[in-house]
Amino acid sequence: MPLSIHYYVLSLSAQTCRLYEGFRDTLIDIQNTSFPFHRDDGTPGKRPPTSGQLRDFLRNTDKHLSIYLEQDPLWIVMIGSTRHIAIFRSATIHESMFIGKMEGDYSAVSTAELGSIVWMVVKQALTGSNELALRRLENAADLKTIVVGLAAVEGSIESGADSSLFVEEDYHVKLGADATVPPKLGHVSDVIDDAVDLVIDSVLRKGGDVAFLDSGTMVKFQRIALIPTN
């Protein structure tokens, strides 16, 4: 399964586990019958659970997670203490779906702030080294094997798989304002209202890769560029 800017965040603790749905740096706290998932093993108050109780709780959390992965399989970032993450990883059947982790207590962090922090982990998984990505972009420009600007990129992404997209991390173009939906991207326009995100989603679904570069580093490339399939 290709990497994506659409993902889950699983927050682990001894009392309550939460699941978020992420899209770039925006998180939605999932609130339904499966999450948040609270520990209820008869332990009075908030007394710390035994190791066995904690393992059972995190194993059941994994079962709740399975419901979402069966319906919409997405990559996952884990959040929690070193101990909670280690126990969960020993119990989960979804180890292959995790692309990163953040160790520590983020319970006092707002959902908006958490989204910005987690996005750094996802972006690193997608991009790798920012300097290497920028160097590759410059080399492609020198060889004139590059497509520059949103309109030109939209017209080129259907040419084949394994293309490489480069985009400034804060570049957004609202659909209906300065951009329209390319005909072949209409199937996802009902859930994504940003023309740049539509292009990113399409490239990733086709097996291409996406590099998010720092703001201001791609001015001469009109903030978005594509190296098409050779």
pLDDT in tens, 174-210: 876 545 444 444 443 344 678 898 899 888 888 888 8
| 209 in Cβ contact with 228 (< 8 Å) | no
| 115 in Cβ contact with 27 (< 8 Å) | yes
Whether pTM > 0.85 for this model: the answer is no
Q: Identify the bridge partners of residue 75 per DSSP, sorted by sequence position.
A: 7
Q: Report the length, in residues, of the chain.
A: 230
Percent share of the chain, pLDDT over 90: 50
Q: What is the pLDDT of residue 190?
A: 44
Q: Which of 228, 211, 207 has its CA nearest to residue 135?
A: 211
Burial of 118-130, coded b for 16+ CB within 10 Å and e otherwise, reads bbebbbeebbeeb
What the block records as the tokens of 119 is 């996005």
Task: List the beta strands (DSSP E) in 30-128.
Answer: 37-38, 75-80, 98-103
Kindly report the average pLDDT of the chain as a whole number: 85
Domains of the chain, first to last: 6-127 (3.30.420.60), 130-227 (3.30.1330.30)
pLDDT tens digit string along 156-181? 877 656 788 999 988 998 876 545 44
Q: How far apart are CA 112 and CA 127, in angstroms?
A: 22
Q: Identify the bridge partners of residue 23 per DSSP, sorted by sequence position.
A: 6, 26
